[in-house]
């Protein structure tokens, strides 16, 4: 009985196998679950991915991992064994990227991670990160704090990897700048209230509070602080650089500071900013498909994946055929040797020693004025 079922499944799989010459890309995103706010915009941008690059048909296979690294691993396994993908895009959150990195290594498939992720040295070779690292993103915040005389800060962030990485980074950079972290409060993505945590922070009364949350979830803790009467500066991270923050936060987020990659404020970039043209292209195309004001940080990374593929694919095709290990190796080498590449989020420079790529100047500090993100002068 089981054998019969397996035979049917096999037949179906054979019927669904794609043609050999296409370039297969496996994409695992958190389209549902607590991190969906990050994954959905990425998914939306991938819907605009070109169907053909350098004369080869592109087969983009998108699967949801529901913010669960286990499912992400499952998706990745399916991609490398069943769909025989040439490159992996994913995950959209740190934990998933970290979980599938070993599979990228095992199967010798390059991985473009859409989340900042730290991996053990042996897996570093096959993993490239599209988003800016936490060090890069924390830099403008700490610089601004130094400039405006902030001496003490509080932390209100997620209990997960995103929160943890930011905490480590801010403690390091703030410490180096002589700023003390006086209070650390955590909350879960799924929490409906952060009042007790906000209460503790307000009574500690630091000069500034850093809220580390993502998408629409970043509004709740922010509002909690305002409701508890906190009067100091509030900083948000780049995962909150989305219209959702303003939509849900309303009046309460006015005047707060949000760090972001350049993509989100494309029009406000000075003319001589290298990413201006690309960023404007991204914003125009995305908003044409999804509505004015729908631009956000995460979709920008998906757009950048497109640029990388457009640059690297023609070279790799000269060296090997898609679907072979040599092709995957050629892609990896090509990405590593790509050199200075202009992405919507800044100038990317991956080297054999550095698979993060962005420099400290990439992050831009924005502030919310009348419901719009505006660059801080």
Partner 1 sequence: MKRFAFPAFAAAMLLLPLLPVPDFWITQSIYIGLYALVALGLVLLTGVAGLTSFGQAAFVGVGAYAAAYLATQSGLPPLATLAVGVALAVLAALVLGALTLRMSGHYLPLATICWGLALNYTMANMEGLGKYDGILGIPALSLFGVDLGTGRALHPLVWAIALVAALAVVHLLDSRPGRAIRALKSGATMVEAMGISTFRYKLTAFVIAAVLAAVSGWLFAHFQRSVSPSPFGINKGIEYLFMAVLGGVGHVWGAFLGSAVVRLTEDQLQVLLPKLLGTSGNFETIVFGVVLVVVLKYAPDGLWSFVGRWRPAGAALRDWAGAEALPKRAKPAAGERLLDVDKVRKQFGGLVAVNDVSFHVDAGEIVALIGPNGAGKSTTFNLATGVLPLSGGAVRWRGQEIAGRPSRAIARLGVSRTFQHVKMIPEMTVLENVALGGYGRTRSGVLRAMLRLDRAEEKRVFAEGEEQLARIGMAERMHELAGNLPLGPQRLMEIARALATDPALLLLDEPAAGLRHHEKQALAGVLCQLKAEGMSLLLVEHDMDFVMGLADRVVVMEFGNKLMEGTPAEVQASPEVRAAYLGTEH
Partner 2 sequence: MDATIASILALDGLSNGAVYALLALATVLVFAVTRVIFIPQGEFVAFGALTLALLQARQVPGTVWFLLVLAAAVAVQDLAAGLRHGQPAGRLAMQALRTLAWPVAVSLLAIWVAPKGLPLLAQAALTVALVTPFGALLYRLAYESLADASVLVLLIVSVGVHFALVGLGLFFFGAEGFRNPSFWDVRFSVGALTLSGQTVIIFAASLALIVGLWLFFERSLAGKALRATAVNRLGARLMGISSSSAGRLSFTMAAFIGALSGLLIGPTTTVFYDSGFLIGLKGFVAAVFAGLASYPLALVGALGVGLLESFGSFWSSPYKEVIVFSAILPVLLWRSLRDPHGEDH
Q: Per-residue string for binding with partner 2, 332-371, x by CB under 8 A?
A: ----------------------------------------
Evaluate whether 194 touches 224 at the Cβ level (below 8 Å). Answer: yes
Angstrom distances, CA of residue 149 to CA of 153, 192, 364? 11, 33, 19
Q: Closer to partner 2 by CB, 248 or 277: give it.
A: 248
Q: How far is the CB of 230 from partner 1 (least distance, A)?
A: 25
Q: Closer to partner 1 by CB, 12 or 353: give it.
A: 12
- For residue 69, the partner it binds in partner 2, partner 1, none, with Cβ less than 5 to 8 A by kind, is partner 1
Question: How many whole angstroms separate alpha carbon 73 and alpha carbon 75?
Answer: 5
| Residues at the contact surface with partner 1, assessed by CB under 8 A | 1-3, 5-6, 9-10, 12-13, 29, 31-33, 43, 62-64, 66-71, 73, 77-78, 81-82, 94-95, 98-99, 102, 120, 158-161, 164, 188
Question: How many whole angstroms separate alpha carbon 145 and alpha carbon 149?
Answer: 6
- For residue 217, the partner it binds in partner 1, partner 2, none, with Cβ less than 5 to 8 A by kind, is partner 2
The count of other CB atoms within 10 Å of the CB of residue 253 is: 24
- For residue 77, the partner it binds in partner 2, partner 1, none, with Cβ less than 5 to 8 A by kind, is partner 1
Question: Interface residues for partner 2 in 3-32 (CB under 8 A)?
Answer: 31-32
Between helix 36-46 and helix 297-319 the angle, nearest 10°, is: 50
Binding part of the chain for partner 2, among 46-54, 173-181, 185-193, 266-274 by CB under 8 A, reads 185-193
Evaluate whether 37 touches 92 at the Cβ level (below 8 Å). Answer: no
Nearest C-alpha neighbor of 357 from the set 365, 347, 367, 366: 347
Evaluate whether 131 touches 116 at the Cβ level (below 8 Å). Answer: yes
Question: How many whole angstroms separate alpha carbon 22 and alpha carbon 13?
Answer: 17
Binding-site member from 128, 155, 187, 373 for partner 2 (CB under 8 A): 187
Question: How many whole angstroms separate alpha carbon 5 and alpha carbon 122?
Answer: 39
- Counting every residue written for the chain, the total comes to 377
Question: How many whole angstroms separate alpha carbon 185 and alpha carbon 201?
Answer: 8
Q: Is 217 in the site for partner 2 (CB under 8 A)?
A: yes
The count of other CB atoms within 10 Å of the CB of residue 128 is: 22
- For residue 299, the partner it binds in partner 1, partner 2, none, with Cβ less than 5 to 8 A by kind, is none
Nearest C-alpha neighbor of 366 from the set 233, 262, 251: 262
Q: Closer to partner 1 by CB, 161 or 225: give it.
A: 161
Binding part of the chain for partner 2, among 132-140, 173-181, 209-217, 332-340 by CB under 8 A, reads 209-217
Residues at the contact surface with partner 2, assessed by CB under 8 A: 31-33, 36-37, 40, 159, 185-188, 190, 192-193, 195-197, 199-200, 203, 215-217, 219-220, 228, 244, 248
């Amino acid at each position: 009985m089981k054998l019969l079922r397996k035979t049917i499944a096999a037949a179906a799989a054979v019927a669904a196998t794609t043609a050999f010459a296409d370039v297969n890309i496996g994409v695992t995103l958190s389209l549902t679950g607590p991190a969906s706010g990050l994954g959905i915009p990425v998914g939306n941008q991938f819907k605009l991915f070109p169907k053909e690059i350098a004369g080869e048909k592109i087969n983009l296979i998108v699967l949801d991992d529901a913010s669960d690294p286990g499912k992400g691993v499952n998706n990745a396994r399916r991609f490398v064994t069943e769909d025989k993908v040439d490159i992996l895009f994913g995950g959209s959150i740190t934990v998933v990227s970290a979980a599938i990195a070993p599979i990228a290594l095992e199967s010798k498939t390059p991985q473009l991670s859409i989340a900042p992720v730290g991996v053990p040295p042996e897996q570093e070779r096959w993993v490239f990160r599209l988003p800016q690292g936490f060090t890069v993103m924390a830099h403008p915040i700490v610089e601004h704090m130094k400039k405006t005389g902030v001496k003490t800060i509080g932390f209100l962030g997620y209990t997960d990897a995103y929160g943890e990485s930011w905490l480590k980074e801010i403690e390091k950079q703030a410490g180096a700048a002589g700023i003390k972290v006086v209070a650390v409060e955590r909350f879960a993505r799924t929490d409906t209230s952060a009042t007790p945590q906000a209460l503790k922070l307000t009574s500690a009364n630091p000069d500034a509070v850093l809220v580390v949350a993502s998408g629409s979830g970043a509004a709740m803790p922010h509002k909690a602080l305002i409701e508890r009467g906190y009067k100091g500066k509030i900083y948000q991270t780049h995962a909150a650089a989305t219209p959702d923050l303003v939509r849900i936060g309303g009046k309460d987020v006015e005047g707060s500071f949000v760090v972001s990659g350049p993509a989100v404020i494309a029009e406000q970039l000075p003319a001589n900013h290298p990413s201006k043209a690309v960023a404007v292209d991204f914003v125009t195309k995305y908003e044409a498909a999804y509505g004015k004001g729908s631009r956000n940080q995460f979709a920008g990374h998906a757009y950048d994946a497109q640029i990388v593929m457009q640059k690297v694919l023609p070279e790799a095709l000269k060296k090997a055929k898609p679907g072979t290990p040599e092709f995957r190796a050629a892609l990896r080498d090509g990405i590593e040797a790509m050199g200075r590449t202009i992405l919507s989020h800044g100038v990317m420079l991956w080297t054999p020693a550095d698979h993060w790529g962005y420099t400290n100047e990439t992050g831009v500090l924005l502030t919310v004025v009348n419901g719009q993100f505006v660059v801080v002068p």
